[in-house]
Amino acid sequence: MKSTFTILLAVFLLTAGTTFSQENYTKKVLGNIIFIKNVNGKTIAYSTESGISLLQVDGLMFKDLNKNGSLDKYEDWRLPFDARAKDLASQMSIEQIAGLMLYSRHQTIPARAGGFMGGTYNGKPFAEGQTNPADLSDQQLEFMMKDNLRHVLITSVQSPEVAAQWNNNIQVLAEGIGLGIPSNNSSDPRHGTVSSAEYNAGSGGSISAWPGSLGLAATFDPTVTERFGQVAAAEYRALGIATALSPQVDIATEPRWMRFSGTFGENPWLSAAMAEAYCSGFQTSPADREIADGWGFGSVNAMVKHWPGGGSGEAGRDAHYAIGKFAVYPGKQFETHFIPFTEGAFKLKSKTKMASAIMPYYTISWNQDTKNGENVGNSYNSYIINDLLRKKYGYDGVACTDWGITRDHTVMNSFIGGKPWGIETKTEAERHYKVLMAGVDQFGGNNAAQPILDAYQMGVKEHGEKWMRERMEQSAVRLLRNIFRTGLFENPYLDPAETKKIVGNPDFMKEGYEAQLKSQVLLKNKGNVLPVKGRKLAYVPKKFTPASTNFLGMKTPEKLDYPVNIEIVKKYFDVTDDPAKADLALVFIESPQSGIGYDSMDIKAGGNGYVPISLQYKDYTATEARATSIAGGDPKEASANRSYKGKTVKTRNTTDLGMVTETAAKMKGKPVIVSVAVDNPMVFSEFEKQATAILVNFRVQDQAVLDLITGKAEPSGLLPFQMPASMSEVERQAEDAPQDMKCHKDSEGHSYDFGFGMNWKGVMKDERVTKYRK
């Protein structure tokens, strides 16, 4: 029963004016959200619509989240995080713990009208002008109320203000049901650039734009990455996001891997330094927002991925697909892939000490389980999680599966299908149980609690109810700890007006743009053609893009257009369509793109479906590939041999090569400046001699490229990986070994090796070049 004081206090707070002062606290009202600032303590906030009350103890204000009229340990913000987490876990039902273990499928705000990431509102799709975009969808209401889910993955949002309003809505719901556990919202990386967007100093944007992970690595400066983490964390918290599903610290030792661009490159020590800086930047709260141990209201949990490293998929195939489920280790470098974790993410220089969460990859780490001999996905493998991660390396943070590993496997080449690699024939409940027994805490991409409850009953049958309850509470404590650390129990709410001021503010935009400038790598500058001085007449060839369909089934029609924002180019150059009149040519291309290494047409022709992944523009025939694959086997395949030897693959953007070679022929010796947007290592020998200058970027704005070309900034980036001399080198290298290829040597005698880069004076040889060559 509530005390008279509690009831009266709640009524007083609801009926008082907008702002007032008391001896021990002050109050601010924002619609149905009330913010209470304890003069000698933390700020708490609650909603008048959630049904909870406040408690005053020792002159301080607390939230009575479980509505029992007394201050429980988990409600007491003065206590250590672990004490609060253990108290709350002990009060939770198995159903509530099961819900806490769920991590939602991808959620857009508002929900898309059908298809992947689709949703409805009162049974109807979102309708602009009729549906409030900040409302919770039917599906979100269901997984929050029925399944007790409390971890939500957010993708696109209509605007920062809508994101803030949606956050408040979901937190009101969470606060008022069960034990009042707030929603821990998360995001995959969301600070990438739109290449055609113009940067205007002093103006803001929808969110600050930074180079991708490869670009951050190319700075060879962890302080840039740490600052990115600090800025991104501020913007995340202003959007209601308290967990980052990043950084991706796999060392990208296999150059054909489609997720190469999300990494910090192939060097384990550079990756470790960047991992440390990234996690420290995200997790460390500013001093005025700190609660304890570096954690606080400005912190964002970093979920580092992917343990034990996913960058060695055989022949470059990716484990989102059944065709790429095997990580192989012909170079015997399995433990080398641990370095970014054990020497980076697990050894932070900041007070938070260690990345708070980790995600194992989909891959089967082929023949690396020396204890049980299992070849199963990493999240199912007790040796990889319990023995290595937990025991050997002492990691006690949250381990969350990658998305969809417990769903059924239906087809070999589906990006969004289930990925139960190695245990495809087991039931969904059996898969959940195996994950729990392996030492993993959470299920990515699962909205329904029932399979976890079924797995719990399996554990009770095998180990007894006491043991299984303790196992569930162990995961609950880990999960709750990260919610307490970020202050969500005290104040999960946002002021949309403040969100608008913070996200994409001019200062953050400026810092992101400056990082883009630092991230670019000058590979070639024959005759010191760069920087271009004075206003010149430039020829910019158009690009033909064939029709395509992406992994979600979205179609893009063919087009012939400038591959750059030509209006921005015109601010730097006069532009002509006649190469004969031009002073120079500006050619904008992308690294070769050949697909996922599988073609259903090959099966129809009697093959096994496997084809090469190429890093060159011209047609590639894999005469030097393995005759027998290292790994193989799938219930849906007749043969375990995944070899593609002798097969030929075409590159989708082969016309990029012609843009360079044909332009060089038309320019008749006049400068040809090539800008390459790079996602993977590539074979430069096809066109390098025809290029006067080559500038590489890792997905930056066109304007940042032009600023370097014209000398408004000087290049300072270094290659965070090797550029192979040929596809023969790619075939001969070991998928798991870093820096084991012969590199391309250009017409100027420069080798495009790890750590290579030029500025206006020539090849750079500063301390960065040697620091990470261990």
Which residue type is seen at 191?
Answer: H
Rounded to whole angstroms, the maximal C-alpha distance in the chain is: 90
Q: How far is CA 49 from CA 174, 559, 708, in A?
A: 11, 52, 54
Q: How far apart are CA 158 and CA 714, in angstroms?
A: 36
pLDDT tens, residue by residue, 287-316: 999 999 999 999 999 999 999 999 999 999
**pLDDT band at 1, cuts 50/70/90?**
very low
Work out the mean pLDDT of the chain and round it to a whole number: 94
pLDDT score for 309: 98
Q: Measured on CA atoms in the order 402, 403, 409, 415, is the torsion positive or negative?
A: negative
pLDDT tens, residue by residue, 646-698: 999 999 999 999 999 999 999 999 999 999 999 999 999 999 999 999 999 99
**pLDDT(625) > 90:** yes
Q: How far is CA 119 from CA 43, 132, 252, in A?
A: 35, 14, 36
pLDDT score for 5: 40
Give percent of the chain with pLDDT exceeding 90: 90
Q: Strand, coil or helix: what is 435? A: helix
Q: Which residue blocks in 177-297 are alpha helix, DSSP H?
A: 213-218, 222-239, 268-283
Would you say 172 and 164 are in contact if contact means Cβ atoms under 8 Å apart? no
**pLDDT(402) > 50:** yes
**pLDDT(109) > 70:** yes
Q: How far is CA 551 from CA 254, 418, 595, in A?
A: 21, 14, 11
Q: What are phi and psi of 186, to 5 degrees?
A: -140, 175
Q: What are phi and psi of 644, to 5 degrees?
A: -125, 20
pLDDT score for 151: 98
**pLDDT(496) > 80:** yes
The residue-averaged pLDDT of 705-717 equals 98
Query: Which residues share a beta bridge with 400?
Result: 442
Would you say 638 and 551 are in contact if contact means Cβ atoms under 8 Å apart? no
Cα–chain-centroid distance for residue 149? Answer: 21
Q: What would the two tokens of residue 659 be?
A: 């843009």
pTM of the entire predicted model: 0.95
Q: How far apart are CA 10 and CA 28, in angstroms?
A: 14
pLDDT score for 12: 41
pLDDT score for 202: 62
Give percent of the chain with pLDDT exceeding 70: 96
